[in-house]
Chains A and B, each alone.
Chain A
Amino acid sequence: AQTVTQSQPEMSVQEAETVTLSCTYDTSESDYYLFWYKQPPSRQMILVIRQEAYKQQNATENRFSVNFQKAAKSFSLKISDSQLGDAAMYFCAYRSSKLNTGGFKTIFGAGTRLFVKA
């Protein structure tokens, strides 16, 4: 079964600085998707960035980028020029790309709470 591990329960960053959130996962599949979701205090979960496992190029979305290391099964999120609005819970998630015995459920990590200091 797939697992997703976020080893940092909390992180703190100074406004305008850069922070990296860690995520590792375990799977025997070769084709899958990885996501970072953000859940602000308002509780609405929003997609930050996604990565297809077959793509070697790391995904980027404005100030958000990932470091995808497939062999190491690592998928970290880098937030550059941190803003106060980035304060939230961040979830790393894994999803199969095709039906298998585990089905299509998305596996979420426990989350990392990010604090941004002014």
Chain B
Amino acid sequence: KAGVTQTPRYLIKTRGQQVTLSCSPISGHRSVSWYQQTPGQGLQFLFEYFSETQRNKGNFPGRFSGRQFSNSRSEMNVSTLELGDSALYLCASSLVDPLAGGVGNEQFFGPGTRLTVL
């Protein structure tokens, strides 16, 4: 079974631009979460989607948005980029419905998209 894939793997943008990152979960997984990883802040939760609905959102400004499609693929968008947005953006998929809780719940991560804002 193929793992979580993220595209692109590397991205260089300039301040003020906007960017869209893509994540394809493991086949059969319907939950997708996004995280920002920086040396200073570590791994910070951005948002989680299940069946095209945002289930939870982290403490990030409105410039960060996301969506999930009917095939469970997810995109994350960052508008008006700032230097501080430079980070590794990780996507993770999970089998279970977060509202159902229960067994599993472990997340499988993609390789990440390295975003550099100049």
Contact = CB atoms under 8 A, between A and B. Distances in A.
Contacts of A46: 109
Given A99-B98, A110-B42, A105 B33 contact: yes
A37 B90 CA distance: 13
Contacts of B71: none
A44 to B, nearest CB: 5
B61 interface: no
Interface size band for A: 20 to 34
Contacts of B43: 91, 108, 111
Main SS at interface, chain B: strand
B99 to A, nearest CB: 5
B41 to A, nearest CB: 9
Contact of B58 (A42, A43, A98, A105): A105
Given A97-B102, A104-B56, A45 B48 contact: no
A105 to B, nearest CB: 4
B58 A95 contact: no
A16 B69 CA distance: 47
Contact of A106 (B33, B108, B110): B33
Interface string B46-77: 00100000011110000000000000000000
Interface in B80-118: 88, 90, 92, 98-99, 101-102, 105-112
Nearest to A45: B109
Contacts of B35: 108
10 nearest interchain CB pairs? A103-B56, A45-B109, A98-B101, A104-B98, A105-B45, A108-B43, A97-B101, A110-B42, A44-B111, A33-B105
Interface of B: 33, 35, 42-43, 45, 48, 55-58, 88, 90, 92, 98-99, 101-102, 105-112
Given A44-B109, A45-B90, A97-B101, 16 more contacts: A37-B109, A42-B111, A43-B111, A44-B111, A44-B112, A45-B109, A47-B108, A91-B43, A98-B101, A103-B55, A105-B58, A106-B45, A106-B107, A108-B43, A109-B42, A110-B42
